[in-house]
Chains A and B, each alone.
Chain A
Amino acid sequence: QVQLKESGPGLVQPSETLSLTCTVSGFSLTSYSVSWVRQPSGKGPEWMGRMWYDGDTAYNSALKSRLSISRDTSKNQVFLKMNSLQTDDTGTYYCTRDQSTASDWFAYWGQGTLVTVSS
């Protein structure tokens, strides 16, 4: 059974760094890619970046200068770090998995974690 679960602080101060962890089960990170997607309240989702199954990464060009995605395959975890947070970074952050190794659409989603940027 494929599962993904996000964890991290619910509140971050402006200008500080956000660190989130996605813990997965039911599949191997060396076989499937995992993406981070965020969603401000009342708005559409935004793809942030991807950890490919081979360890390569891809980032949204609008976030690339602030964003880093890494993984620990032994712990089945994918990490997101984003610096210089501002209030418009507030929203729900999801980790997602492609449906199959040959697909680019997200069939599996975590429950999401709400991140509020505020002093």
Chain B
Amino acid sequence: IQLTQSPSLLSASVGDRVTLSCKGSQNINNYLAWYQQKLGEAPKLLIYNTNSLQTGIPSRFSGSGSGTDYTLTISSLQPEDVATYFCYQYNNGWTFGGGTKLELK
């Protein structure tokens, strides 16, 4: 399964509601996770099984979706959320998306 993320680059202001998209080439059956990666660091798990928040992750992060289309939402963008975000599917094999780089406007 191939994952396509959009947009590849997103500029937003502190406090904005931000939505990142991930589309699969086939049905993912909700077996989708989201990772945050800051410069020079390993990816960090945010969300698994489409909408389950990993322990310790702020509640401003949420996930939704079904079938082939999934979304990561940040309800109120904070400066520390500047990072690249990857989706990852584990329904059929294990594949990552190409990423969305989130920057401050």
Chain A residues with CB under 8 Å of chain B are 35, 37, 43-47, 50, 60, 94, 99, 103-107, 109-112
Contacts and interface: CB of A to CB of B under 8 A. Distances in A.
A47 B42 contact: no
B98 A44 contact: yes
Give the interface size class of chain B: 10 to 19
Contact of A44 (B31, B33, B42, B96): B96
A50 B90 CA distance: 13
A99 B53 CA distance: 13
Interface string B61-92: 00000000000000000000000001010100
Q: Which of A43, A44, A60 has the most CB of B within 10 A?
A: A44
Nearest to B34: A105
A18 to B, nearest CB: 19
18 contacts: A43-B99, A44-B96, A45-B86, A45-B88, A47-B93, A47-B94, A47-B95, A99-B48, A104-B90, A104-B94, A105-B45, A105-B48, A105-B90, A106-B43, A107-B45, A109-B42, A110-B42, A112-B42
Given A44-B86, A50-B94, A106-B45, 14 more contacts: A35-B94, A43-B99, A44-B97, A45-B88, A47-B94, A47-B95, A103-B48, A104-B90, A104-B94, A105-B45, A107-B54, A109-B42, A109-B44, A110-B42
B45 A45 contact: no
A35 B88 CA distance: 14
B43 A45 contact: yes
A46 B42 contact: no
Interface string B31-52: 1010000000011110010000
Nearest to B47: A105
A94 B42 contact: yes
A46 B95 CA distance: 7
Contacts of B97: 44
B96 to A, nearest CB: 4
